[in-house]
Structure 1
């Protein structure tokens, strides 16, 4: 298993980030197809372009592959507390899974008393694990995917920071 952690910042409160993660509109705007929604979960699929898969791994990925992301948030935390979410990313038919634990910590109280319940800003942390079930070659697959996953997650992480 390969793992890494990304950190970042957002002008949005942890509560607003949690709401954005569960909002189907957020993902439709990124060409996502919503498969299911619930109060604290959402599943969305994205087309997986051939340019997203390293050449050395293309034989493991079906030609019509999609990237499926399941978002599960913890129960909404009290105001001023961190919000957490788990993301599970798979390509159905491919022997790889990516798990992300996302935590948004509040960084500052609201300047306007009317917004005091929400606070302002978040510090984001995403701990990511890449796991492959390819016999004998799992670690090679994980190593080949790490830069791709890191790049894609960094891009999504930046988009998440600006959900507002």
Structure 2
């Protein structure tokens, strides 16, 4: 299993950040479909499906997936009030058809005048003997995607 840990600091509250997480525009990208099951007020639940062309896949992954893949993300968070000092976001992701699971736990905690964003990602492959090689090949790609999403949640 590979673990990626990233931290950011935002000038907004956890509730404001969760509203942005619940907004489909946050997840919008080329070849991405977003389905919102519940918004921030009810407790976030949304699903994204993104086509990943073979040219953007690590070579080890493209061997398994051929011409491309679909990244499916299931994003969830419990509802919080506007004055909440903490919130958590969970993302369960998979590359459909690949023997890899990606789990992201994002903790939002008010510290001083801002909110710390702490994300821990675990990449696990069930392929005997070659699982760690697949995890290592996917690690930079997953880290790049997560970095892009976290950077959207902070005030630059």
Q: Same fold (TM over 0.5)?
A: yes
**Structure whose residues are more often strand by fraction:** 2
User: In terms of mean alpha carbon deviation, does 147-156 or 31-40 score higher?
Assistant: 31-40
Alignment of 1:11-160 (within 5 A): 11-28=11-28, 30-31=29-30, 32-38=32-38, 39=42, 40-76=44-80, 79-109=83-113, 121-160=114-153
Gaps of 5+ in 1: 110-120
Deviation at 1:18, TM superposition (A): 0.9
Deviation at 1:63, TM superposition (A): 2.3
1:46 aligns to what SS in structure 2? strand
Measured in 1, the distance between the counterparts of 2:11 and 2:132 equals: 37
Larger radius of gyration: 1
Are the counterparts in 1 of residues 26 and 152 from structure 2 also a CA contact under 8 Å? no
Please report the TM-score for the alignment, with normalisation by the length of structure 2.
0.85
Measured in 2, the distance between the counterparts of 1:56 and 1:103 equals: 31
